[in-house]
Structure 1
Amino acid sequence: MTSKNEEGELIAGGGVWYAIGDARNMEFRLPGHLQHTAFNAETAAALLTIQRTHPGTPLNIYCAKESVRKTVIKKLSDMEDRAKTWFRTAEDAETSSDKAGYAGAAQLAQEGCRRPMPDQVSTVVPPEMVLKGLKLSKLTQALAYAAIKETKEIPFRRATDNRVKQVQLATKQNFNRLPAPPEIWKSIRHKDFTRQTRNFLWKSMHDAHHIGKFWKHIPECGDREICQFCGETEDLEHIVLKCNRPGQQQVWELAKELWLKKHSMWPNLSIGAILGCGLASITNEKGHHLPGASRFYRILISESLFIIWKIRNDCVIGNGGVPLPVNEIRNKWLFTMNQRLDLDRVLSNRLKYGAVSIRPLLVLQTWASTLKNEVELPQNWLIGPRVLVGIEPNQPSATPPRRRGRNR
C-alpha cells in the first residue's frame, strides 16, 4: 500500500494477516533506505512472513501483485529444497478465510502507511541459509566455465586498454555518448556481425594480429614489421586507414558512396570508430533512432573492415606483395555486400518456419535507398528475383573470394 503525507512524501506500508485475533498479525512502514513502492512493501511482507515461520511449515502467501510471485519464484526457486512455500495472487484465494486474510492484510497495510516512524525490516540472510558453490545436479559446462573465470584475475594489457579508450573517444565524437567497457565488449559480439567478423574484431581489440611489432624481436622476421609498400610500421591502423597499397582507400570510397544513398552523415573514420561500429546509433534530424540505418552502418563498416584485411592478405601472402587490380577490389567488395543482402533475404523468409530469422520489416529498413533500380522494385522485394546493391561492378563480373588458409 502506498500513500503520500502532507509534505508529498511517498510512504509505503505493508500488512501481514494470519487470522482473526492472531498475535502474528502486523502492520509496518517501510524503512527509509528502501524504495517506497507497493512492490517493495509486499516483498517485505513476504520476507517477514517467511522469517517468522518455522522452516518445515507449509506456507501459503497471497500477494496482490503478480510481479512479486514471479520475482520470488524466478530468483529463489531453490527455496523448495528446505520447505514447501506457495506464492499466490488474491484471485487464487478459494476459501472464505483466505479471502478474509487478504482483506485483513490490506487493512493492516493502510495502517502501516499512517505510522509516524518506519519499522526495521531485516534483510540479513541466516548463515544456515547461505549456500556456497553450485549444485552438482544443476551444474552445466557453461556454469562451471563461468565460475572458473570468476576465480581468475583478468590481466591488464596496455594494448587492449588503449583500444578501449580509442573506441570510447570515437563513439563520443560520432554519436555523442561515452560507452562503458562492458558495453564495448558486448558490441563486438553483435548479432549483425558474421562469426568471422566477430572473431576479427575481438583480436583487433586486443591488438593480437601477427603484424607490425609482433615480428620485431623474432629472428629473421624483423622485415615483416615494415609495410612492403609504404615503408612504415604495418599495424592495424596503417592497414585499415593509411596504407597506400590499393585496397583500403577504394573500399572506404565505395562504402561512403553506398552510405550516402541512405544517410547524409558520413562519420569521421578512425580505428576506434571502425572497431566500435557495433555501438552505432543513427538518428534523424529530430533525434529519433533509426534502427534500419544503424544496422546497415554496422554491416557496412564491419564487412568493409574485414574485406580490407582479406585484400591485404591476398596481396602479401598470395601475390608476393603485388597489389590487386582496382577492378578486382571493387568487385570483391560488391560481392561481399550482395552476399549479406542475400543472407538477409533468406533469414527474413525463415520467420514463418520458426528458424533463426530477422524481422522482414527490419531487413526492408536496413537496405532501403541502397538498392539497384529501387523505384522499380515491389514494396516487399524480399520475395522474388535477386536484388543487388546500387553500385555497378566493373568487368569482369564479381567472383567469390578465393578460399585460403588461416590468416596471419
Structure 2
Amino acid sequence: MGANRGRNNLRTPKIVYTDGSCTNNGKLNSRCGSGVWFGHDHPDNLALRIGGTAGTNQIGEIAAIVATLQHTDEIVPLRFRTDSESVMKGLTENLEDWENRGWIGVANAEYFQAAAYQMRIKSATVTFQWVKGHSGNAGNDGADEQADRGARKNRPDRIDLYIPPEWRLTGAKLATITQSIAYRGIRLDEEKKHPDGRSGPKAQLDRARDALESFTGYQETNETLWKGINCTDIRKNIQTFLYRAYQQSYKLGEFWIQTPMNERAVCGVCNDPVESLEHILLECESDARDIIWTMARDLWPHGDDTWPDLSLGIILATGNLVIEDQHPTNEERGKKRRQGPTRLLKILISESAHLIWVLRCERAIAGKVHTRAEIQRRWTRKINDRISIDRLSARLTPRKGKQQKPTYETWKGTLEDEDQAAELWANAKEVLVGIRKPRVPP
C-alpha cells in the first residue's frame, strides 16, 4: 500500500520499522513511547518519549513516523513497516476523506496532519507495508523495544508537529459535509471555547476521576468519563440518570433554598437541611439506601478487595469501573480485565443507585411509602430482570457460545442453587434462574 507524495524516485526504498508503546493507554497518567528501527545498532534508530496527557499506542506510532520523516533526507525514499493497520490506512486510504471533512471527529488529528505534511514535502516516495506484530519479526521487535525504551525515559522528547499556515487545511468542504459532520464540528468548536464545560460538570468529572484513580489506579480523561456513561452494560434509562447527575440538572437542595418553596431543600427522611444527590444515594438514613446497598454488597461474590468504597464519584464513573487480574505487570495493565466481575460490578452499582433515586422520587413527589419488604422485592426483581435480558440475548445471538460465556462469567457465584443449575442455563428455556437471597439489614 503506497502513499506517493512527491516525485517518483527509482532508488531502492529504505526500510524502517515503527511502533508505539503506551502504559495506561488513553489515561491521564499514561507513559507513551515511539520506536524507530532501521537495523541493529543503526545510528538512526530512535527511542522517543511522547509528552502530554492521555497518550495512546496510536499516538506513539504516528509520532514515530513523523520523527522518521523529519530526520531522513528528503531525497531518500522510505518504506514504513508497521503493525498498526489504523495508522497505515489513515495515511493512505482515509487521508483524502479526512481532509475533505476538515479533520472533524478524527482521533489524533494533529499527529496525522503533521505526518501528511511531512510526506508531501518529501521529493521521494513514501510507502507503507503492514507486518504482524509480536510474530518474531526482527524489525518489528526492534521497533517495539525502542518504543518501550522511549516510554521509560524520564523526560519527554520534543515532537515537532508544526505545519505552515499555507499547508494547514481547515474547515470541511461543502460538497462533502453532512449534517452529522457539521454538528460535530460545531460541538468541537464549543468544547475548544469551554474545554471544561460549566462548573457543575467539571466538579463532577473531577470527583469521578479521583474516585476511579483510588480504585483502579488510572487517571481517566474527561472524554473517557463521558463515554463511560454510554457503556452497554448500563441500561439506557440509567445512562440518562448518570448524564443528568454529571450535569447536576436535578432540582435538589440548593436549588430550592432561594425560592419561596425553600422547604423542599430539606430531606424528607432525615431532615438534612440541604438534600443532595450524594446525600440521597449514600448518606440518608432511609430504608432504601440501607437495604439496597447491603443487598448489593452481599450478592457480590468476588471479595472485599474488589468492591469499591462507595462514593458519588464511583457511581458517576460506573461505566469506567474495571476489575483486573491480581498483580498485573506494567505490560498487562489494562489488558488482563476480568470481564465477568467487571460487568457484574457495573450492573450492581448502576441498578442499585438508580433504584434508590427512583424510590426517593416516588416518596418525595407522589408521597408513596415503601415497606422494607417491598424495597427488597424491587431490588431483587431489577437484578433478576438483568439476568433474563442476558439469557434472551444469549438465545438470540447466532454465535451463542461467544455470547453465553460473558453471561456465565457475569453471574457466576450469584445464583440460587447454582451447583444444581443446568450447565447451559443461559440457553435453557425451561430452567428458572435467579439470584440467591442476599443478606438484608435488620
TM over 0.5: yes
8 Å contact 1:262–1:368 — kept in the other structure?
Answer: no
Q: Distance in 1 between matches of 2:405 and 2:421?
A: 16
1:242 pairs with 2:283: yes
Q: CA deviation at 1:26?
A: 8.4
Equivalence for 1:344: 390
1:160-211, Cα deviation, whole Å (9 max, x unpaired): 2322232233223333333333322222221111111111111112222111
Match for residue 189 of structure 1 among 211, 222, 230: 230
Equivalence for 2:363: 315
1:349-403, Cα deviation, whole Å (9 max, x unpaired): 332179xx98321111111110111001122211112311112799xxxxxxxxx
Paired residue secondary structure (1:133): coil
Equivalence for 2:370: 324
1:200-258, Cα deviation, whole Å (9 max, x unpaired): 11111222211111112233x21111112211121101111121222111100110110
Equivalence for 1:335: 381
Paired residue secondary structure (1:352): coil
Equivalence for 1:374: 418
Q: Decide which structure has the larger Cα Rg and report it.
A: 1
1:257-299, Cα deviation, whole Å (9 max, x unpaired): 101x343433211211222222222234444531110110001
8 Å contact 1:230–1:244 — kept in the other structure?
Answer: yes
Q: Distance in 2 between matches of 1:386 and 1:216?
A: 50
Equivalence for 2:303: 263
1:317-338, Cα deviation, whole Å (9 max, x unpaired): 22x2x53101111100011101
Match for residue 186 of structure 2 among 138, 145, 148: 148
Q: Distance in 2 between matches of 1:27 and 1:62?
A: 6
Amino acid at match of 1:296: L
Equivalence for 1:74: 93
8 Å contact 2:16–2:37 — kept in the other structure?
Answer: no
**Alpha-carbon distance change, 224 to 64 in structure 1, aligned in 2, over 3 angstroms:** closer
Q: TM-score, normalised by structure 1?
A: 0.67
**Alpha-carbon distance change, 372 to 88 in structure 1, aligned in 2, over 3 angstroms:** same
8 Å contact 2:99–2:169 — kept in the other structure?
Answer: no
Match for residue 406 of structure 2 among 347, 359, 362: 362
Deviates more, 1:150-159 or 1:239-248: 150-159
Match for residue 255 of structure 2 among 189, 195, 214: 214
**Alpha-carbon distance change, 332 to 127 in structure 1, aligned in 2, over 3 angstroms:** same
Equivalence for 1:276: 317
Number of residue pairs aligned between Structure 1 and Structure 2: 328
Match for residue 202 of structure 1 among 216, 240, 243: 243
**Alpha-carbon distance change, 257 to 310 in structure 1, aligned in 2, over 3 angstroms:** same
Q: Distance in 1 between matches of 2:364 and 2:291?
A: 18
1:160 pairs with 2:201: yes
Amino acid at match of 2:250: H
Percent identity for Structure 1 against Structure 2: 25
**Alpha-carbon distance change, 128 to 363 in structure 1, aligned in 2, over 3 angstroms:** same
Equivalence for 2:433: 387
Q: Distance in 2 between matches of 1:213 and 1:123?
A: 47
Q: Distance in 2 between matches of 1:257 and 1:80?
A: 54
Q: Distance in 1 between matches of 2:188 and 2:99?
A: 28
**Alpha-carbon distance change, 141 to 37 in structure 1, aligned in 2, over 3 angstroms:** farther
8 Å contact 1:348–1:382 — kept in the other structure?
Answer: yes
Amino acid at match of 1:187: G
Q: CA deviation at 1:131?
A: 3.4
Q: Distance in 1 between matches of 2:99 and 2:188?
A: 28
Greater length-normalized contact order (CA 8 Å, ≥ 6 residues apart): 2
Paired residue secondary structure (1:73): coil
Q: TM-score, normalised by structure 2?
A: 0.63
8 Å contact 2:36–2:68 — kept in the other structure?
Answer: no
* RMSD value, Cα: 4.2
1:301 pairs with 2:349: yes
**Alpha-carbon distance change, 63 to 79 in structure 1, aligned in 2, over 3 angstroms:** farther
Deviates more, 1:269-278 or 1:195-204: 269-278
Q: Distance in 2 between matches of 1:324 and 1:124?
A: 63
Q: Distance in 1 between matches of 2:237 and 2:166?
A: 49
Paired residue secondary structure (2:176): coil
- Can you give the 5+ residue segments of structure 2 that lack an aligned partner in the other structure? 1-6, 18-33, 39-60, 101-124, 131-159, 329-335
Equivalence for 1:118: none
- Can you give the 5+ residue segments of structure 1 that lack an aligned partner in the other structure? 1-15, 53-60, 91-121, 395-408
8 Å contact 1:331–1:393 — kept in the other structure?
Answer: no
